[in-house]
Structure 1
Amino acid sequence: MLEKARRRATIIDVGRHAGVSAKTVSRVLNGEPHVSPAVQQRVRDAAASLHYHPNMLARALVRQRSMLLGLVYENPSASYVVELQRGMLTRLADTPYRLVVFPIASIIERSGEVAGLLRSAGLDGVVLAPPAADDLRILNDLASAGIACARIGPSRAIELAPSNIVDDITAAREIATHVIELGHRTIGIIKGHASHAASEARTMGYSQAFYAAGLPMRLDLVEQGDFTRESGHAAAERLLARAEAPTAILAQNDDMAVGALLAARERGLTVPDDLTLVGFDDSEISRICWPPLTTVRQPVFEMAREATDMVIAQLEDRPPLLRHDHPHDLLIRASTAAPPRS
């Protein structure tokens, strides 16, 4: 009995259990056509009953592929990274492909190494998250190495590779306009990492909202962050320590907004009665903090899922969708209100 428990089921065992040939089992598990639905179901039931799982190494050898797809990211926001991985894993479910993640501390410093790193890992394809999605060196190196790729949130050279796009400028303009229409005139800004094109796009959106309202965007109320909660906390401390402290803060992601929320509480301020605060992304932390954050939802999960499909299409010699423009939503929650009368 112990020996039987140790032995892994084979494709031959599945075939015998289902009453079909091993070749038919292989065709079903590989998603090949011309197998009746009834036979497909018998094979899947037999595989589940025997706890059979295909040998990924054997599949890779037969197909002369690793069946590995990578995710390259730098963004330190844990909730953002989780959404990226969830989107990719959802698309990879019931496929022979597997996910390998490549967190890189500084894309701008290591862009010349990325393609070599992915090639040495034997990847078939890769999804690039910001700022790698905008790095022309990486894109050109991947093309030279023959590694299929797709991009999330790029803002330049869209024609170089399949891309998933959200209009950061319009989204940032909408959330800044919401704050201005509440009556705020002294408004602080916490920018994201300088190497991320999204940070500049969101700053541009804010500036458009200020211009449309006839307000200056005061540079003395703009602080640099790096998309982490800690940087948002430090930036908010500097803003709130000013003689003319802002009545509202626009943070360029939810993690920095939560850091600002903590800094406000430490100074005895209440959000939104004393300070209006907004984020960006609609990450989980924006929904579970108190008060929940007014923010912009960008569909990170959907973008990652679509980018994965774009890579798989290239590997299966299907024409990929070259550009997918994703919608955004302004989500008004309890962290915004009119400025205090004083």
Structure 2
Amino acid sequence: ADIPAVAVATGRAPGDLAAVSIDDFQAAYEMTRHLITLGHSRIGFVKGNPNQTASGKRFEGYLAALSEANLPVLDELIAQGYFTYRSGLDAAEQILSLLDPPTAIFASNDDMAAATVAIAHRSGLDVPGDLTVCGFDDTSLATTIWPELTTIRQPISAMSRAAVEVLVRLLKGRRGAEMASEHLVLAHKLVRRQSDAAPRMRPRLGVR
């Protein structure tokens, strides 16, 4: 017989596989809304790996918040990442090299957000004075870099426990096919730290 499996931290249950995750769309929507509430209107976004469903959900949440606030979606402010630090460096360089860079960048995970902070510092930008940077996941990296990252916390321990409980029930054969396609959605949390602030007023050209 096939051994049952449970996916953890996926954007949605893939087919008939049981899954435990957060609402990636809602979490990214809330983070983007948070940035808009701070006063940001030019918000960059670093996408996650296109092969992962969660990446698309997080991008959709960003787009939904911009649309609700009647802010334009600007392709120049969006860069493709792959959930790696290296890809975050490339994406941040792309966005921050613009003549009119954003005042905030929301990266789809903490690794890429940390890379964005590194590029900002290398470019002589203060975080969060000149650039707000936010991440996603609340991994240990979020609190080991400076400044510590504002991010979305996934309850990984609770998700792992829930996945084990679902797996045990699957192995015991309870509810059969119904259980095999179960998708549990656990609560996330927006955690504010030191990497976000209201945007500074930028001086007009020629005026000091």
TM-score by length of 1: 0.55
Matched, 1:253 2:113: no
Q: Which has the larger radius of gyration?
A: 1
> Is 2:30 aligned against 1:174?
yes
- Which of 165, 168, 192 is the aligned partner of 2:21? 165
The higher relative CO (CA closer than 8 Å, separation ≥ 6) is in 2
| Equivalences, count | 198
Alignment of 1:104-183 (within 5 A): 146-156=2-12, 160-183=16-39
Q: Which amino acid is 1:268 matched to?
A: G
Partner residue of 1:265 out of 113, 121, 129: 121
What amino acid is aligned across from residue 237 of structure 1 in structure 2? E
Aligned: 1:190 with 2:50:
no
Deviations 1:178-197 (A, max 9, x none): 11111111111111111011
Q: Distance in 2 between matches of 1:189 and 1:159?
A: 28
- Please give the root-mean-square deviation of Cα atoms over the aligned residues, in Å: 1.7
Contact 2:11 2:24 survives alignment (8 Å): no
| Aligned partner (choices 211, 234, 246) of residue 67 of structure 2 | 211
Amino acid at match of 1:330: L
- Among all aligned residue pairs of Structure 1 and Structure 2, give the percentage whose two residues are the same amino acid: 40
Contact conserved, 2:7 with 2:13, CA < 8 A, in 1?
no
Aligned runs of 1:320-339 on 2, under 5 Å? 322-339=182-199
**TM-score normalised according to structure 2 size:** 0.89
User: 1:43-62 residue pairs with structure 2 within 5 A?
Assistant: none
Q: Secondary structure at the match of 1:151?
A: strand
Cα 1:232–1:155 change in 2 (3 A) is closer
Q: Which residue of 1 aligns with 2:154?
A: 298
User: What letter corresponds to residue 198 of structure 1 in structure 2?
Assistant: A
Query: Is 1:199–2:71 an aligned residue pair?
Result: no
What one-letter code is carried by the residue in structure 2 that aligns with 1:220? Answer: E
Distance 1:261 1:170, change over 3 A: same
CA shift, 1:273, in A, is 0.3
| Structure 1 unaligned blocks of 5 or more | 1-144
Taking the aligned partners of 2:11 and 2:191, their CA distance within structure 1 comes to 23
Map Cα deviations across residues 99-137 of structure 1 (whole Å, 9 max, x no partner).
xxxxxxxxxxxxxxxxxxxxxxxxxxxxxxxxxxxxxxx
Q: Deviations over 1:241-260 (max 9, x none)?
A: 11111111010000000000
Is contact 2:13-2:183 (8 Å) kept? no
Query: Could you say what secondary structure the match of 1:160 adopts?
Result: coil
Partners of 2:42 and 2:106 in 1: how far apart? 11
Look up the SS of the partner of 1:256 in the other structure.
helix
Mapped pair 1:222 → 2:78? yes
Hey, which of these two has a bigger chunk of helix by percent? 1
The answer for unaligned runs of 5 or more in structure 2 is 203-208
Secondary structure at 2:5 match in 1: strand
Provide the rounded CA distance (Å) in 2 between the counterparts of 1:201 and 1:187: 17
Structure 2 residue 187 is the aligned partner of structure 1 residue 309: no
